[in-house]
A and B are shown apart, each in its own frame.
Chain A
């Protein structure tokens, strides 16, 4: 069985400062890992995915995530936050089926 934990339900950063959204997973087998973003009143949009290729994955809008097997982590980062990054972010692990994290709400202050 697999599971995913997003360590922070809410993260607040100032515009122009780095973003770190944390995700830990548990899986008996090599998982596929994803980050999705959901803006208010919108569906989810795929930011990036890891499927056993390069451990550092670059996604859209300047986001990237690093798969660290030893730490069972897949944290999402961005060097400089923009106001438009304010949204809900979901980490997802898939082995047999997809398991979504509970989400992290990112607030960006001017």
Chain B
């Protein structure tokens, strides 16, 4: 596979469940990102990892827990979510974390529904 892949593409979970979103990039990049896209709201940057270290965490609730075990994989662990967390979660990668110089490549997203 090429580019940025995300699994699962769709996820329905209850508020007491624990689940994980997975992102994998096949581009040799060293920076990865999680974004949240809610209906009728601007896209929100959640986390940035550069060289497997978290370099940005934009006031995201602790019920979202990212993990970057290596430069090709990024996870978003979810627990005790709320219905308002239902959204499209997008993963992206780039070569370097300086967004103005390094183009981000996005995955297709995981559509999350919290019941």
Contacts and interface: CB of A to CB of B under 8 A. Distances in A.
Given A43-B90, A44-B90, A45-B106, A99 B101 contact: no
Contacts of A97: 45, 56, 58
Interface in A64-110: 90, 94, 97-103
Q: Is the interface of B mostly helix, strand, loop or mixed?
A: loop
Q: Is the interface of A mostly helix, strand, loop or mixed?
A: strand
B37 to A, nearest CB: 8
Contacts of A90: 42-43
Interface in B49-103: 56, 58, 90, 92, 99-101, 103
Given A43-B109, A102-B40, A94 B104 contact: no
Name the residue among A41, A49, A90, A98 with the largest chain B CB count within 10 angstroms: A98
Nearest to A32: B100
A46 interface: yes
Interface residues of B, number: 21
Contacts of B108: 41-43
B4 interface: yes
A100 B106 CA distance: 15
A51 interface: yes
Interface in A39-56: 41-46, 49, 51
Contacts of A51: 100-101
Contact of A44 (B56, B100, B106): B106
Interface in A18-51: 32, 41-46, 49, 51
Interface of A: 4, 32, 41-46, 49, 51, 90, 94, 97-103
20 contacts: A4-B42, A32-B100, A41-B108, A43-B92, A43-B105, A43-B107, A43-B109, A44-B43, A44-B90, A46-B103, A46-B104, A49-B103, A90-B42, A90-B43, A94-B100, A99-B42, A100-B42, A100-B43, A100-B44, A101-B42
